[in-house]
Structure 1
């Protein structure tokens, strides 16, 4: 397994819970329209879901989402979206697929994962759900899972990450290449590098990370030595961190 494949494999570990069910799904801001449309398909057929929360304000990632929508789904793109928050853009895409009557909530101010979790929790005040599905960029899903667990005061098992399809990296030379070639366009090479390498740095519990030994944004995460070794070998390829 290549170093980058090992990092992606670690970041996209999916906790299995075949009996999980919840009335609530949270869709966190991301730049992958295919993921948003897949969420719409899931909610259309999953009758147990009664509420969908779209989370995300306007930030650096918003332009990536807009560009991806315009390039890959021009038939769905609307010009007025250029003034929308990520939550509003995601809702528009979602509604092109899902026609079921659902409670739709929007959180339009958050600009990072911590705010995604905290501000979405504040939408509910004292009546927050005790469990929910969580959809996020697969490369950000692990840290998002830990972050939402901490901010919502819920055990990890109460939050079920939802990938629809796990990305399996075949190789990375000048750009990522996945087992499902349709995913090759999901992340531009510089953004892919920033996400994969940046997420390992944030998850590793040392003075540079987001765990208790660092910024204390998330609980302790055990990153295997083999993953850290791959991270250190890959780190030199990140010349310019472009993530927002």
Structure 2
């Protein structure tokens, strides 16, 4: 990836991250994916005292089906336990197969188990922060006026993110293109709230498409 492509990809990365300031919360919700660093981040937040419970949500999604053979939530829980989170402070929602279901099924789980959650920390991959926040604001079934939600992810820069499990920098660029594409389309389908997109981000998106990168 030469400097121009890297600069355009960095533009997408910067846009898709929100850099929310954490607040003391009732629960940490770790959303399933193919990056185990999300589980490690959720565990570190618990161990730092940001919330007394972790709910891991996820069955198998587009990047884990056929690769993992147990629910993402179970695998994430095992990682958190190895890092020192007590097993009885971890909750599992093992049915969700996409972000909307992660959000809706987490709400249902909390309601069914009588767990109040007015302040929530959502944890996912860095380039998914904006996506998750917009999905939560549209698809969380409960009232949102008195809910405080913050979104966070493993702390790393664009060039640090690729690894043997999540893929190459080219793979990451394709994922980001797919997220930006759907951020434009999904509000019309009722899946997310609408979000502003800067001209710089739209230009970077078009440059990368013309260069042959494909949204994933």
TM-score range, shorter chain: 0.7 to 0.9
Please give the per-residue CA displacement for 1:28-63, whole angstroms capped at 9, x wherever unaligned.
Answer: 0122222322322221231x5221110101233225
**Gaps spanning 5+ residues in structure 2: where?**
none
SS in 1 for 2:92: strand
Q: 1:202 maps to which residue?
A: 182
Summarize the alignment of residues 43-192 of structure 1 with structure 2, pairs less than 5 Å apart: 43-46=46-49, 48-62=50-64, 82-100=68-86, 102-125=88-111, 127=114, 128-152=116-140, 153-154=143-144, 158-167=148-157, 169=158, 178=159, 181=160, 183-185=161-163, 187-189=166-168, 191-192=171-172
Q: Distance in 1 between matches of 2:57 and 2:198?
A: 31
Q: 1:34 maps to which residue?
A: 37
Q: Distance in 2 between matches of 1:61 and 1:134?
A: 20
Q: 1:8 maps to which residue?
A: 13
Please give the per-residue CA displacement for 1:1-36, whole angstroms capped at 9, x wherever unaligned.
Answer: 81111011111131235xx11120000012222232
Cα RMSD (Å) of the superposition? 2.4
Runs of 4+ in 1 over 6 A off after TM superposition: none
1:24–1:133 Cα contact (<8 Å) kept: yes
**Gaps spanning 5+ residues in structure 1: where?**
67-81, 170-177
SS in 2 for 1:60: coil
Q: After TM superposition, give the deviation of residue 232 of structure 1 in Å.
A: 1.2
Count how many residue pairs are aligned between Structure 1 and Structure 2: 204
Please give the per-residue CA displacement for 1:147-195, whole angstroms capped at 9, x wherever unaligned.
Answer: 123222425971111224142x3xxxxxxxx1xx4x3316313531331
